[in-house]
Amino acid sequence: MTQLEKNQTVTVTIDDLTYEGLGVAHIERFPLFIENALPGEEAEVLVVKVGKKFGYGKVLKLLKESPDRVPSADQNLLRSGIAPLSHLTYAKQLAFKQTQVEKVMQKVAQLPDVPVLPTIGMADPIGYRNKAQIPVRRVNGEIMTGFYRKNSHDLLPIENYLIQDPAIDQAIIVIRDILRRFNLKTYNEVDNTGLLRHLIVRRGHYSHEMMVVLVTRTEKFFKGEEIAKEIQKALPEVVSVMQNVNPEKTNVILGKVTKKLAGKETIEDQLLGKTYQISAESFYQINTEQAEKLYQTAIDFAKLTKENVVIDAYSGIGTIALSLADQVKHVYGMDVVKSAVADAQQNAERNHVENATFEVGKAEIVMPRWNKVGIKADVIVVDPPRKGLAESFITASVEVTPEKIIYISCNPATLARDLKLYQELGYTTEKIQPVDLFPQTTHVEAVALLKKAVD
């Protein structure tokens, strides 16, 4: 048991970074997690919380700075969690992400010999997000846009978000000023009152088409269409202004009802040469430039031929399936979200892709059925959500007996867990390529190549 107490001041040396980007110091082997602290730094720290197994501290004074520190980092971006690694040089961020994947491969997958390649980064690792979701609140009586302080609902007014497309940052300021002119009531989450909850802005990386979504608590939106026209007048790139209605007392941003206020209902953008329609609710990769590298890595790992049949098991609006369709005999995709499958089918038509089939359903149910009617996949591509793959899916995918499985992951811990099970079922992980889709944050995506073990 540690002798540390809350509100005690201690001098520590930081010896590691957690997967969340917190500095770690050990006092008599007791770990203290500290925000805005980097390995090798010495700091005077205030102990703010002490638990049974670990505690939390706050830097009062840096006594020795790391050469890897970016001294100009905006403290609000660290405090809000928007850019929790922005105080670390980009080269070290990439190394940190490679290490995160290596650690889980050793500890969780127990596959320490699988090569984890150096993280693929960006030449310019800022201004990459093609979508912003910003709370709108009143601060000292004035309508403000910004982001919440971590672990709180105190809004920090922010104008430069560092990681968002600068055109989106500028649009947020313009829209905020329009909202001030109309003096709208903003949402009060304590008693679930007020009107305007969030502002969402999407911008096509290549098309530069912009969509604005105003998330309101009630469907009744006095002067909503007038506001939409003012937004379009001030921002010529805005081709779509939508209203989303979310009456619930919840942290979930979007509600179930979306209606058009002005312009089109969707915007278009390109990914690996294919064109996609993006709606207010569509899942679309946040970082277009890096998503292209991620998908290209998956395609390269698969070494596809014109004789191959591929299954894309979490096909969404079809971005992966359609990216590789030109190189294979046929690609089959499935998804549990009906609207996503409809979007995928429309995207196939839009891009004149005739060798892609999309179906609604759970992959672990659809794949065996396809297998029975003679659809034999040479390659299965999976791109699951953060929770990873269900065990039932892993078993079903192995029963299809593909030569290769390409696993695209947004969570190294669940990737490692799933690779361990695949290993037990006869699929060996050949290599893993981390790709940095979210520079300045702790998130890391990775592509793993699995091959069927030779009997």
Q: How confident is the model at residue 234 (pLDDT cuts 50, 70, 90)?
A: very high
Average pLDDT estimate for 178-205? 93
By annotation, the residues acting in catalysis are 410
- The beta strands (E) that lie in 51-193 are given as 55-64, 131-139, 142-148, 155-157
Could you read off the pLDDT of 31-84 as tens digits, one per residue?
999 999 999 999 999 999 999 999 999 999 999 999 999 987 788 888 888 899
Structural domains of the chain sorted by starting position, each given as residue range(s) with its CATH number in brackets: 9-69 (2.40.50.140), 98-122+287-452 (3.40.50.150), 131-271 (2.40.50.1070)
Whether the predicted pLDDT of 133 surpasses 90: yes
Alpha helices in 215-257 (DSSP H): 224-234
Could you read off the pLDDT of 286-344 as tens digits, one per residue?
999 999 999 999 999 999 999 999 999 999 899 999 999 999 999 999 999 888 899 99
**Beta strands 23-27 and 356-360, pairing class:** unpaired
Instruction: Tell me how far apart the alpha carbons of residues 50 and 247 are, in angstroms, rounded to a whole number.
Output: 38
The dihedral built from the CA positions of residue 335, 342, 221 and 140, taken in this order, carries a sign that is positive
